[in-house]
Amino acid sequence: MRELLSGNEAVAIGAIKAGVRFFAGYPITPSTEIAEYMARELPKIGGIFIQMEDEIASINAVIGAAASGMKAMTATSGPGFSLMQEGIGYAGMAEIPCLIVNVQRGGPATGLPTKPAQADVMQSRWGTHGDHPIVVFYPYSVLESFLLTVKAINTAYFLRIPVILLTDEIIGHMREVVELPETVEIYQPKKKKKNAEEFLLYGDETNYDAEVAYFGEGYRIHISGLTHREDGFPTNEPEIIKWKLERLKRKIEDNKEKLWDLEYRDIGAEICLISYGVSARVALEAKHIYEQEEKRALGYIRLKTIWPFPDQPLKSLLKSAKKIIVVEMNQGQLINEIERTVSPTIEIVGVQRYDGEIITPDEILAVI
């Protein structure tokens, strides 16, 4: 069925399709429509919506629900995302799967509540303290907001980690006619084979794509934000501490090729545009205009996976490029990752805008 939907509505629909039945959140522009949709629809299907007193309470309620076996999520924007960082780190250490949606707006601080930005890219990776992996997806359309929400939830449960979906005010609020799939593939954790006496929630065989036990199922579970042993109880043993942190790292290292997702066109052209989210829509329009006027191809790469950063695919795709133009709505965040990744002989230029307005094709064409 064809529908006229906003990006925020598509995120909420995708979450429900993927099995989310618990939402805890606090209203914040420009993500509030996700909470509104969940407040209306979750009770109809036996789900739970709770409006919390703030974003700190929201992420902790999500963690509690997820630890009890409910697929859970929250949605926020920059200021709320900052408040959630300690909870996201706790979910990472405790290996609790959940979804955090950040519909970005201008900042810092209260910033520009109704204006778009893409300035939380680095915060999504490095906002929490300590070493732990993270997965971040970024859609560029209403349909992809649905699809990447489903992928984010499946990834969270496959890897047993919190996963972040970054969007922005424009992607969240724009409307497009879409035809959503009737059914989606949903990842199901493996059924438990071991009995309660033998099962270890953090054993080597339960790192990812594994059997999981939840509170209330008769298994002995100990969940802690402290560095812990296989049974979940805290430890100060250096070897076990190292094992635990490397266990978290392996979740990504063993699966990064499955996680990397990007779109590319006309690879091999002398000049290549690289972008993500709403900026990638503008970059694609600039590509069309350039090719009509200049009668030659312009390379184009759009990142759907921001973290883990797809350094190996980019290195391969950009071997023959002479110039790279990175388009993003911030003062330059992913451009630094791209500079680190590609050959130092390739010239890299940024097209950046951070005044609350969207980049235009003309600004990109002027740099080309």
Angle subtended at Cα 273 by Cα 268 and Cα 276, rounded to the nearest 5 degrees? 125
Residue of 129, 159, 337 lying closest to 252 (CA atoms): 159
In this prediction, residue 321 carries a pLDDT of 95
In this prediction, residue 196 carries a pLDDT of 85
Shared domain for 230 and 287, answered yes or no, is no
Where among 259, 284, 301 does a domain terminate? 259
Mean pLDDT, range 276-298, rounded to an integer:
97
Shared domain for 248 and 279, answered yes or no, is no
Shared domain for 77 and 172, answered yes or no, is yes
Shared domain for 200 and 279, answered yes or no, is no
Q: What CATH number has the domain bearing residue 308?
A: 3.40.50.920
Shared domain for 162 and 200, answered yes or no, is yes
Structural domain for 49, as ranges: 1-259
228-269 pLDDT, tens per residue?
A: 999 999 999 999 999 999 999 999 999 999 999 999 999 999
Where among 190, 225, 259 does a domain terminate? 259
Where among 259, 294, 314 does a domain terminate? 259
Encoded tokens for 206:
């339960």
In 214-331, beta strands by DSSP E: 262-265, 271-276, 299-303, 305-307, 323-328
In this prediction, residue 364 carries a pLDDT of 98
Least confident window among 20-34, 142-156, 216-230: 216-230
In this prediction, residue 347 carries a pLDDT of 97
Task: Say if residues 103 and 75 touch (Cβ distance below 8 Å).
Answer: yes
Q: Give the distance between the most distant pair of CA atoms in the chain.
A: 70
Q: Which residues contact 316 (CB under 8 A, 6 or more apart)?
A: none
Q: What is the spatial distance between Cα 12 and Cα 156, in angstroms, rounded to a whole number?
A: 16
Shared domain for 346 and 232, answered yes or no, is no
Shared domain for 355 and 233, answered yes or no, is no
Mean pLDDT, range 144-149, rounded to an integer:
98
Distances (CA, A) of 367 to 80, 350, 364: 35, 9, 5
Q: What is the spatial distance between Cα 147 and Cα 142, in angstroms, rounded to a whole number?
A: 9
Least confident window among 86-100, 206-220, 353-367: 206-220
Encoded tokens for 70:
């409910």
pLDDT for residue 2 is more than 90: yes
Mean pLDDT, range 47-69, rounded to an integer:
97
Residue of 118, 63, 53, 110 lying closest to 86 (CA atoms): 63
In this prediction, residue 327 carries a pLDDT of 98
In this prediction, residue 195 carries a pLDDT of 86
In this prediction, residue 193 carries a pLDDT of 80
Give the percent of the chain with pLDDT over 70. Answer: 100
Shared domain for 159 and 201, answered yes or no, is yes
In this prediction, residue 97 carries a pLDDT of 97
148-202 pLDDT, tens per residue?
A: 999 999 999 999 999 999 999 999 999 999 999 999 999 998 877 888 888 999 9
In this prediction, residue 103 carries a pLDDT of 98
Q: Which residues contact 143 (CB under 8 A, 6 or more apart)?
A: 10, 176, 178, 179, 180
Shared domain for 116 and 217, answered yes or no, is yes
User: Residue 260 half-sphere exposure, CB side, CA atoms within 13 Å?
Assistant: 13
In this prediction, residue 191 carries a pLDDT of 79
In this prediction, residue 192 carries a pLDDT of 79
90-129 pLDDT, tens per residue?
A: 999 999 999 999 999 999 999 999 999 999 999 999 999 9
Shared domain for 52 and 159, answered yes or no, is yes
Shared domain for 129 and 272, answered yes or no, is no
Number of folded domains that form the chain = 2
In this prediction, residue 194 carries a pLDDT of 83
Shared domain for 268 and 246, answered yes or no, is no
Q: What CATH number has the domain bearing residue 47?
A: 3.40.50.970
Mean pLDDT, range 311-334, rounded to an integer:
96
Encoded tokens for 187:
């990842």
Q: What is the spatial distance between Cα 250 and Cα 133, in angstroms, rounded to a whole number?
A: 9
pLDDT classification of 81: cutoffs 50, 70, 90: very high
pLDDT for residue 304 is more than 90: yes
